[in-house]
């Protein structure tokens, strides 16, 4: 169970056409369990946001998505240390978000936590998870 900090959820600003394309490309790859490729698409989005000096919270949100893809790749490869390290990195970046860019970030984080807790047990299948839409 996640405990909030009492702060209001963050709100993401609009993405431009190129950024939206990178987000959607990453989502398609993520939803089809191409975690490495999703990571690559989202890294391009992350760099685009940094170039235009987007709000830091949005840059960290995308970094959290990148780390989620990396975490699920570690889960697929049964690398418990990698799963736990990525969870520790991504959780604070995503925990203050409810929704962003049509995505249910809080719902996603709840599911991803079950994969973090599954590290070492391997009862879940990483490819079963798709990014929930808001």
Q: What is the pLDDT of residue 5?
A: 46
CATH number of 17-128: 1.10.3450.10
The first and second tokens of residue 43, run together, are 């890294």
pTM of the model: 0.92
Residues 66-79 have a mean pLDDT of 98
Q: What is the pLDDT of residues 36-45, one digit of tens each?
A: 999 999 999 9
Instruction: Give the confidence band of 9 by pLDDT, cuts at 50, 70, 90.
Output: confident
Classify strands 99-100 and 103-104 as parallel, antiparallel or unpaired: antiparallel
Read off φ and ψ for residue 13, nearest 5 degrees: -80, 170
Instruction: Give the confidence band of 12 by pLDDT, cuts at 50, 70, 90.
Output: very high
Q: What DSSP string describes 72-117?
A: HHHHHTT-HHHHHHHHHHHHHHHTTBSEETTEEHHHHHHHHHHHHH
Read off φ and ψ for residue 48, nearest 5 degrees: -65, -40
Q: Assess contact for 86 and 71: CB atoms under 8 A.
A: yes
> For the chain, which residues make up each domain, given as ranges?
17-128
């Amino acid at each position: 169970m996640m405990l909030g900090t009492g702060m209001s959820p963050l709100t993401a600003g609009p993405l431009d056409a190129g950024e939206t394309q990178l987000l959607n490309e990453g989502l398609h790859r993520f939803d089809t369990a191409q975690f490495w490729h999703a990571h690559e698409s989202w890294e391009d989005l992350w760099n685009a946001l940094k170039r235009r000096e987007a709000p830091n919270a949005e840059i960290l949100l995308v970094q959290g998505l990148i780390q989620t893809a990396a975490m699920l790749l570690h889960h697929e490869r049964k690398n418990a240390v990698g799963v736990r390290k990525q969870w520790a990195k991504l959780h604070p970046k995503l925990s203050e978000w409810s929704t962003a860019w049509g995505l249910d970030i809080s719902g996603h984080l709840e599911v991803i936590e079950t994969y973090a807790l599954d590290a070492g047990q391997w009862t879940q299948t990483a490819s079963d998870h798709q990014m929930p839409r808001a």
